Structure formats: C-alpha cells, structure tokens
Structure 1
C-alpha cells in the first residue's frame, strides 16, 4: 500500500498544517463548507441505518464513507486543523503565527457549521415532507439524540460535563488518527483503510464530534426535540470543541511531532566486546 514511514509522515503533517494557514479565505471556507455538509450527510446515513436495522454497529461500519470522501477531495474539518496547524506553529514555520492559526480555526468552524446546517435543513425537509407531516422514525431518532446528548449530560451536572469533555477528547484522538492516516499511504486503498478504522471506532462508541453535532442538534431542534439552542451550546458544542482540541493535539499531533519530527538524541551505544582467539575457539 506504499506505506509512509512515521518520520516522513511527521514531516507531511507539519507541512500540511503550514499549507492550511496560507490558504485563501475563499478556499478555506469552501473546503470547510463541503466537509461539514458531507460529514453531516454521512451522519444522517448512519443514523438511518441504525434506526431501520436496529443495529448501530452497521451504521458505524458504514459511516466512515463520508469522512473518506471529504478528505480524499481535500476538504477540511475543524477537528483536523486542530491537530495539523498547531504543529506548523510549534515548528516555527515562517509566517505561521498564533493569530494566523486562530484565523484558520475560525474560518473552518464557520464553514463546517454552514455546511452542516445546510444538510440539516435539507434532511429535515426530507424527513417531514417539507415540514407538512410529523418526522418519520429516523427523524424521531435524530430528535432523541439531541435530547439525550444535551439534557442527558445536564442531568448529571458536573459529572455530565466531565463525561462530555472526555468523550470529546477521545473522539478527536480517533478522528485525528484518521486524518493523519490519510497521509500514511500514497495509494487510494491504503488511505481509505487507514482512515476507516479509527472513524468506525469513534462513531460506534458514541464519542462527541463537534462537526457531526453541528448537524445532529440543529436537526433535532427542527424535528421537534425538547431542548434549546442554549442547551446545545452549553451542554454539548462548546465542551465538545474544547475536548476535540485537547484530544487531537495531545494524543495525535504532539505525540507524532515529539517522537518522530523532533526526535530525541539516541542513547550512547555500548562499545562492542572485542573477540579474542580463545572466544572463537570456545564458540567452535
């Protein structure tokens, strides 16, 4: 599968983060918009499968098709730039400043949100025949997700907030592994395999992904979910964004950067023991 060594992979990751900082505003927004829209459609696809088959595992196995499509097309998710761009800043690439990094994150966030909302509106129309009938079984499932993953956390107070944050951390640990997985191979099958596995893990375990949630929760509100925009922001989106940032950067980006890009000096090797004639005789 034309495997890329970890050392070369680390260099690719840093260079990728650098390139995203210098991308034009127009291109950044377009690519983020399409990423949010495609990932949202994949989420709707996975929830539909789970609702109609009664088996969430099947939805989790097939959900990564959207993630693979958007990264193969060169689009960007907030969870991905959380991991890639800071490494270019830490590597002191010329022109990669803290302000430039924050600009990139802000643009990608806006683009992802706009794309996810577009899909949310279209799917709500699809589920309700243009809001003329009650949501079907899939629409009701999405509505229930919105309630359970906002008010459900709120019911547990601080413990719920901690759980939400940790799920956000673990989500982008897996998702960012998929992001860098796309760079582990120069072949199409190799890229897809490396991306598919961690994304399937994140979705089946119910971790919290900020961009997927930009679709699920607005959809839930449009489909009659019993929670508010404030509930969504406080008891899901904001803690999830923070958890995604910590998870992707800590468990993927910084680890690879520290051990494969800024590799520590090797320990001194012991001097070889000289071979003598008696040693050779004893071996014989």
Structure 2
C-alpha cells in the first residue's frame, strides 16, 4: 500500500479543501446529505450490534460498537460525501494557506452543516422511527441511554469532549489523504474513528442522528438538541481547525518556499 509523507499530506489537504470550498451548491448539498446519512448509518449499525449484548460484556460491548461505527466515514471517503468535521480540517488549512477566503470557509461550513443535518434526520426518522430500528426493545433503551448521556453532559464537558473527537476524526481524514489505494484509506480511517467512539467523545453530526432518534421516540426535545449542538459544534471546530489544520499548516506549509507561487496565484484570482 502506497502512502504520502506528512508534508505531502498537508499539501493534498490544502488542495482538497480548496476543491471542497469551490463546489457548486448543487453538488455540495447532495454530498452533504450523503455525509450526514452515512455517519448516521454507521451509528445505527453500532446500536444494532450492541443494543442487546449482555451487561456482563462491559467495555468490550463498547469496543464492538466502536469497531463497526467507522462504516460511515469509510463510505464518505471512498464512495463520496461531504462531512462537516472533515471539512473543519481540509477547508480550514486551505483558508490558512490563502487558497480560499474566510467567507468561502464559513459558507462551506454553513451549507454542509445544514445538509449533514438533513441526511442524519432522514436516517433517524425513516430507519429509526418508521422502520423502528431504534424504537424496539433493547435498541430503544440503547438509543435513549446514549442520547441522554450526551444531553446531560455540561457545556464545557461537551466542548472539550468534542475537541478530542475532531482531533481524532480530523486525523482520520488527514491520514486518508496520505493513502493511495482503497484498502489504505479504510485502514487509515478505522483506527482513529474506532478510538473516538470507544473513548466516548462527542461528534456533532453523529449527535444529529442519535438525539433526534430519541426525540422521535418521545424521550427528548429540540431544546435538548440545541443545548448539545452548540458546545459540540464549537468543540469539533476547535479540534479540527486548531489541533489538526493549524498545527500542520504551521509545521509544513507556512514557511514552505515551494508553495509561494501558489499563494501569489491565489491573490491574483
């Protein structure tokens, strides 16, 4: 399996972020829908795998759920999709490297947030509620318990948990840029995503699925969702933009003379 060194990954990430920011809205919105739906399908799979496992299995049950959850990001990376937390890395480093403007960055984050939410809501309502995959027996209990744990977490706990989440998710996306074949990309994604889920960090798009699933089951409300969304969004933004994009930009791209011509071309544009 071929791979790229870290400095090359940084250059690829900046170019990828530029491409993402320049997507027309008619491409960005359906790809964002897929991103939210794919992450939600991965979460739904995790619930179905772990929902009726015996309590005696302890943390091993959590590991099994974490082991299958990466399906969502694998689908996004390999099949295609736009994910807010990944874009918090790629689009940010493109902005830091002067390939796009701050206005383009925030526009991308806005539209991908909206379209990810629609995709997640679709899976929560259609598969979770209408089909009943999150509303029967132990799967309902698992959904409610998981959603309540996120809702009941205090603001700063949620914020810092979300930083940890998107530090790992951002690194998963980052590593996937360094892989040159599908198997390499899957392997690059699996370990960091499994890690953040097993640890219990909070992911804003995943929460767009699990909390509405509990709402549709009558065990939470939209005020609970907003209360969770704000700190988790901010924490994910800090984790991806600061702990991945900014650090690697400072390390590999800021003072790199080989990229100065690219910057000049961007200014002319």
TM-score (norm 1): 0.84
Q: In the comparison of the two structures, how many residue pairs are matched?
A: 250
Structure 1 position 45, deviation (Å):
0.6
Where do 4+ consecutive residues of structure 1 move more than 3 Å?
A: none
1:140 is aligned to 141
Does structure 1 residue 25 correspond to structure 2 residue 18? no
Structure 1 segment 258-273 matched on structure 2, within 5 A: 258-263=250-255
1:272 is aligned to none
SS of residue matched to 1:84: helix
Say what the alpha-carbon RMSD is for the aligned residues: 1.6
Structure 1 position 256, deviation (Å):
1.3
2:117 is aligned to 113
Q: Which structure has the greater CA radius of gyration?
A: 1
Out of 167, 170, 176, the position equivalent to 2:170 is: 176
Does structure 1 residue 252 correspond to structure 2 residue 244? yes
Out of 183, 187, 204, the position equivalent to 2:181 is: 187
2:221 is aligned to 228
2:130 is aligned to 125
Does the CA-based 8 Å contact 2:50-2:62 persist in structure 1?
yes
Q: Whole-Å Cα distance in 1 between the matches of residues 210 and 17 of structure 2?
A: 28
2:94 is aligned to 88
Q: Whole-Å Cα distance in 2 between the matches of residues 86 and 128 of structure 1?
A: 36
- Most deviating of 140-149 and 108-117: 140-149
2:16 is aligned to 16
2:267 is aligned to none
Structure 1 position 128, deviation (Å):
7.0
Q: Deviations over 1:221-280 (max 9, x none)?
A: 11121x32112211x111100000000111111111111222579xxxxxxxxxxxxxxx
TM-score (norm 2): 0.89
Structure 1 position 58, deviation (Å):
0.6
2:194 is aligned to 200
Out of 78, 85, 90, the position equivalent to 1:79 is: 85
Q: Whole-Å Cα distance in 2 between the matches of residues 261 and 170 of structure 1?
A: 24
Q: Whole-Å Cα distance in 1 between the matches of residues 14 and 46 of structure 2?
A: 32
Q: Whole-Å Cα distance in 2 between the matches of residues 228 and 215 of structure 1?
A: 13
Q: Whole-Å Cα distance in 1 between the matches of residues 4 and 95 of structure 2?
A: 23
Structure 1 position 74, deviation (Å):
2.3
Does structure 1 residue 215 correspond to structure 2 residue 209? yes
Q: Whole-Å Cα distance in 2 between the matches of residues 101 and 51 of structure 1?
A: 38
Task: Flag the structure with higher helix content.
Answer: 2
Structure 1 segment 28-43 matched on structure 2, within 5 A: 28-43=28-43
Q: Deviations over 1:78-128 (max 9, x none)?
A: 1011111121112112xx222111111111011100000000011212227
Q: Whole-Å Cα distance in 2 between the matches of residues 10 and 128 of structure 1?
A: 40
**Structure 1: runs of 5+ lacking an equivalent:** 154-159, 266-284
Does the CA-based 8 Å contact 2:21-2:104 persist in structure 1?
yes
Does structure 1 residue 237 correspond to structure 2 residue 243? no
